[in-house]
Amino acid sequence: MASARGEILGHPKGLFVLFFTEMWERFNYYGMRALLMLYMVNYFLWTQQKASGIYKWYTALVYLTPLLGGYLADRFLGNKWAIIIGALLMAAGEFGLTTSNINVFYIALGFLIVGNGFFKPNMSTQVGRLYAVGDPRRDGAYTIFYMGINLGAFLAPIICPALAEGTRWGYHAGFAAAGVGMLVGLATYLICLRWIEELPPGTKYEGISRGKEAGGHAAPPAYMTEQEAEKAPSALPSLSHAAPTLLIVLGVVAMLGAVALWAINVMSLADALAMGLGIGFAAFMAAYICSRVKMAVRDRVLAIGAVGIFVVFFWGAFEQAGNAMNVFADKVTNRYVTEAPPVPSVFPAIEAEKAKATVLEELGKAFKRIFSVNPMTTASFQAINPLGIFILAPLFAWLWTTLPRRGINLSIPAKMAIGVFMNGLAFALMIWAVNAESRPSSTTFANLPVGLVADQDSRVVFREAPDLDDAKGFEAFEELPKETKQFAVVTGGRLKFSPAQGKFDMIGVLADTDRDRLLRASVSKDYLEAVRQLAVQSKEAKRKAGADKPFEASVTLTQIPAGFDLRYAGFAPDKVSFDAATKALKTTVALEDRDYKRLLLAGVEPKLRDALNDLFVKSASFKVGVWWLFAFYILCTLGELCLSPVGLSMVSKLAPAKFATMLMGMWLLTSFFGNYAAGFAGELWGTVHPTTYFVAIAAALFGASAVCFLVTRKIVSMMHGVN
């Protein structure tokens, strides 16, 4: 049967079609993910908290929509059409990100979220459907498929950031490259579609397993088919019988608990909806499936859910790679590998006219940027993990076959417990990295301006300058909260001010974005209002002038800020200028939120600017070396190799045939909760001491690993022979 379909390296040709399709889809996803957080923080100039909030919802929802995509594929579309629709939506989303329009930005994220929901579960399920039940090649197939995932994940953070940092198009070039990757993947799938031949559900393997008598080392355990499992007794009869009811109760309690937490202001409405609806939906879906299966089959469904709880902890930490760890690489890591970094400039680069280079010349610059180590691109650290997968996966494959011969049989839950533990070690390592970075610097300064306050612990806290579209924020800009806990902090409160000694004291690295937040918070309300008025007028002037027509907008500064200096805004003189004679601040471009924030920096009191710039330059020498992040990602990779590859294969073997895609979607739901937890934690980065941040994550991982080890035997009994 297999030979009739055609094979490559002992596997159906369709596997390699899916390999390359998934490789390009992952190139699309990880290329965008590598840039997303940096784009929001460095381009849109959003705070870490706001950017993490967007990142949280995006990365979480791309793993929630597979439930809907799996359901629609199972009931109406089929795997193939769902994959095609998903690929088209994701490509459209990536190209939408190549514009600077905020509204288009959100719409593009929506396309990516929905597209991934159609694509992801159906691709993974289609791999399993190339093989009959009990076919020993299935595990190897998922390993090959997983290598495709990691090949795309390796190339993306190398190529897309090089285009973003090495060409005049910036981040938009990186997003465009990700979109092109998705189109290449779709073309591969459509051209080679005839080779993807799914077997009918329930098709039983007719080959011969390689046991001792066939020259192998050990006969595989007896595999209980789904039909046999429907008649076999449950390993935990009482729990199995009550499971549908208990799951419904869990869903109701989760929803009511979320409402209660929102009502007492412990949780925002959005977070309450995510927790209540997310857990509730997963519980109700699991209850629905459990009510339609029985005996040992129900045990297997419950085993998927039990293991998934621990996987949530793993992904909640692991997915910091694109969030807090990405910012750590950008702001706290010395990315110059073979030479000393230059002294950082306190001035932003002045905008220049885009060079008239050809596309090929721009791509040539990006190619050189790929191989640059002085500095490395920020997002290139995210390529360490997939590269580690390629190098270490054969070692782990050898390990999993060698250990049983020596009497060490690690079950799937045991391997996952080890994976969670290794991830804990990675975050424990970062505690030492923070200790290496936590060195003191100081600079003289007399009195804090309005907007910056020293709290009872001498920490510098401040009111955030409002976003351009925050009308209420402008009205209340001079009103300071009575309690300093309502203020923002930077670097976890490690910047302090001593009025008695007249100086700032800083522990660790002061990032440029945090320095600029402090500076924007100190401007006068008159200047803040003037810049806002200029931004509003510039948009109206552009609208009246029409597309591509020149225009000018201006405001008069009734009070010119002391030390007013447009160089700190970074605009080209022909775009934003100041006429000292008429006190007119002029612009010939429409000013967006990021432009308004940049322009605020021109009106900062000079002594404060000089003091914070002094700390910025001094503390930059405390940045940690790249080897901390290399070690961190290697430990994360060791954990992933213990956990992730076996997960997809486990679900494909445990899931009842008629609910295969739905359960694959539910398995991906563990990544929804994990990514949501990662984003939620990322919102705290910079608001708590970094040591506290890493200690909390490491402790949660070690605790989850310990519990997983304790319940391993029970979960194995519920799997009824699947290993």
pLDDT digits (tens, 9 = 90+) for 438-449: 999 999 999 999
Residues 6+ apart with CB under 8 A from 263: none
Per DSSP, which regions of 500-651 are E strands? 503-507, 553-556, 576-579, 584-587
pLDDT at residue number 547? 79
pLDDT at residue number 270? 83
With a cut of 50, say whether residue 214 has pLDDT above it. no
The candidate with the shortest Cα–Cα distance to 68, out of 127, 113, 130, is: 113
pLDDT at residue number 220? 41
Give start-end residues of each CATH 1.20.1250.20 domain in the chain. Answer: 2-201+221-230+293-434+624-719
pLDDT at residue number 205? 65
Place of tokens 């080392």: 217
Q: Could you write out the DSSP letters of every residue in 409-423?
A: ---HHHHHHHHHHHH
CATH architecture of 2-201+221-230+293-434+624-719: Up-down Bundle (1.20)
Residue 321 binned pLDDT confidence (cut-offs 50, 70, 90): very high
Residue 206 or residue 548, greater confidence: 548
Average pLDDT value for the chain: 88
Residue 218 binned pLDDT confidence (cut-offs 50, 70, 90): very low
Cα dihedral 49, 53, 58, 59, rounded to 10, equals 70
> Which residue type sits at 164?
A
pLDDT at residue number 353? 59
Q: What is the pLDDT of residues 373-382, one digit of tens each?
A: 999 999 999 9
DSSP code for 204 = B
Mean pLDDT computed over 452-463: 92
Q: Other CB atoms closer than 10 Å to residue 421's CB: what's the count?
A: 20
pLDDT at residue number 355? 55
The burial class, CB within 10 Å (0-12 / 13-18 / 19+), for 20 is middle
With a cut of 60, say whether residue 640 has pLDDT above it. yes
Residue 667 binned pLDDT confidence (cut-offs 50, 70, 90): confident
pLDDT at residue number 379? 94
Per the rule left: phi > 0, alpha: psi between -120 and 50, beta: everything else, 492 is: left
Share above pLDDT 90 across residues of the chain, in percent, rounded to a whole number? 60
With a cut of 60, say whether residue 219 has pLDDT above it. no
With a cut of 60, say whether residue 119 has pLDDT above it. yes
Question: Greatest CA span in the chain, whole angstroms?
Answer: 96
First-to-final CA distance of the chain? 25
Residue 665 or residue 25, greater confidence: 25
What distances in angstroms separate CA 273 from CA 50, 58, 130, 279, 379, one per listed residue? 18, 15, 38, 10, 32
Residue 1 binned pLDDT confidence (cut-offs 50, 70, 90): very low
Strand partners, 452: 462
Residue 296 binned pLDDT confidence (cut-offs 50, 70, 90): confident
Pick from 163-177, 199-213, 399-413, 635-649: least confident: 199-213
Q: What is the pLDDT of residues 556-581, one digit of tens each?
A: 999 999 989 999 999 999 999 999 99
Phi, psi of 445 (to 5 degrees): -165, 140
pLDDT at residue number 45? 95
Residue 202 or residue 644, greater confidence: 644
Mean pLDDT computed over 196-225: 56
For residues 132-168, b (16+ Cβ closer than 10 Å) or e, as one string? bbbbebbbbbbbbbbbbbbbbbbbbbbbbbbbbbbbe
Q: What is the pLDDT of residues 509-526, one digit of tens each?
A: 999 999 999 999 999 999
Helical segments of 291-411, H only: 295-318, 324-331, 359-370, 384-405
With a cut of 60, say whether residue 216 has pLDDT above it. no
Max mean pLDDT range (282-291, 344-353, 496-505):
496-505
> Which residue type sits at 457?
D
Mean pLDDT computed over 136-146: 77
Q: What is the pLDDT of residues 172-197, one digit of tens each?
A: 999 999 999 999 999 999 999 888 88
Mean pLDDT computed over 685-694: 95
Q: What is the pLDDT of residues 477-510, one digit of tens each?
A: 877 777 766 789 999 999 999 999 999 999 999 9
